[in-house]
Amino acid sequence: MLPLIALFLAAFAFGTTEFVIAGVLPEVAQGLGVSVPTAGYLVSGYACGIAIGGPLLALATSKVSRKTLLIGLAIAFTLGQVACALAPDFTAMLLLRIATAVAHGCYFGVAMVVAVSLVAGAASRPAGLAREVRVLGRQQVWTSLILMLMLMIGQFALFTYITPMLLEVTGLDESLIPWVLLLNGVGATIGVLVGGKLADWKLMPSLIVMLALQAVALGVIHLVSPYPVPMIVAIVIWGGLNFAIGAPIQTRILAWTADASNLASALIPSGFNVGIALAASLGAAMLNAGYGYRSLPLAGALAMLVAVVVAIGSQAWEWR
């Protein structure tokens, strides 16, 4: 139990580092002397560090004891956070976040395999690089990675800029923003639990329905964004759907790569974070091009519709 608690606490620290910046993005932009869309690249850069550096570091350290590796990565992450707090300008902050994110990406991939082995009561046998790469060619795996991309674009094109949207479009007082984000987090927590149950029950049908509901939720957010109470309710529901969808996607990947899971498990956070990087960059580009904050959920809804088509196609392919 203690090892699982340690992994949980580390996951909380890593997740907080990645996501909390969205709630204080205007303040970060002001403190670093850049615009809000430019500050959004701190989210993109961190996501790129996880997506690209994480799997590469996981492969480079494949012969290192997992316990030793996890401890070393946690220490590197902690030192990176201290360095970020002392960063003198935007460029330094961006580079330090990218470097820290590499440790984050590797940690999550390794920790996922360790957690599964702890629960199962047996350690997995290393599969070899060729076999690790070969399983990625299974359509259930690469289509699930596409679903990850679309899910994150659907979430983070909006979530990266949720604070300025709530302030400028919805008209909420700044003191209410943390409470709205807390409610979004409550919805996300419930979503994780529900998504896990649905993954065990009817994985693909549940996933397809939730992806469609996510598209609807983002459309509703676009419509109700000027109205505080409906907007808050929509954000809570949206948060629940965001995290309910993640569990079935991860379950599907791990199920189809059980015979060679190290690289695939490292690619799970990579898939999520490529999507986050694309989403934050897309949002910044749309804002810089003159589109308002209300356009962001529409971009996310379009990504979710693409995900629905991919999921249906993948399931039909599997049934052939």
Q: What angle do CA 44, 219, 252 make, to 5 degrees?
A: 60
Answer for the pair 299, 209: CB distance below 8 angstroms, yes or no.
Answer: no
Contact 154, 304 (CB under 8 A): yes
User: Alpha-carbon distance 180 to 186, whole Å?
Assistant: 10
**Of the candidates 202, 111, 71, 42, the residue with the CA atom closest to the CA atom of residue 194:** 202
pTM: 0.78
On whether the CB atoms of residues 280 and 43 are closer than 8 A, the answer is yes
Read off the tokens for 240. 């629940």
List the one residue out of 105, 204, 161 whose CA is nearest residue 300: 161
Mean predicted lDDT score pLDDT of the chain: 86
Q: How far apart are CA 72 and CA 107, in angstroms?
A: 9
- Number of separate domains in the chain: 1
pLDDT, one tens digit per residue, over 220-276 is: 999 999 999 999 999 999 999 988 998 888 888 888 777 666 667 667 777 888 888
Residue 64 pLDDT more than 60?
Answer: yes
> What residues contact 43, with CB distance under 8 A and at least 6 apart?
18, 21, 22, 156, 160, 276, 277, 280
Alpha carbons within 13 A on the beta-carbon side of 15: 10
Say if residue 168's pLDDT is above 60: yes
What CA–CA distance (Å, rounded) separates 203 from 252? 8
Pair of tokens at residue 145: 């990675």
For residues 112 and 320, give the distance between their C-alpha atoms in angstroms, rounded to a whole number.
Answer: 31
pLDDT category at 18 given cuts 50, 70, 90 is confident
pLDDT at residue 175 greater than cutoff 70: yes
* CATH number, residue 89: 1.20.1250.20
User: Residue 241's domain spans which residues?
Assistant: 2-319
DSSP of 228-271: HHHHHHHHHHHHHHHHHHHHHHHHHHHHHTTTS-HHHHHHHHHH
For 31-50, how does the pLDDT look when each residue is reduced to its tens digit (9 = 90+)?
A: 999 998 898 889 889 888 88
Question: CA-CA distance, 284 to 40, in Å (whole number)?
Answer: 7
Q: Which percentage of the chain shows pLDDT scores above 90?
A: 39
- What confidence tens digit (pLDDT) does each residue in 84-143 have? 989 999 999 999 999 998 888 888 777 766 776 666 554 555 556 666 677 777 788 888
For the stretch 194-220, pLDDT in tens is 988 888 888 899 999 999 999 999 999
What pLDDT shows up at residue 1? Answer: 67
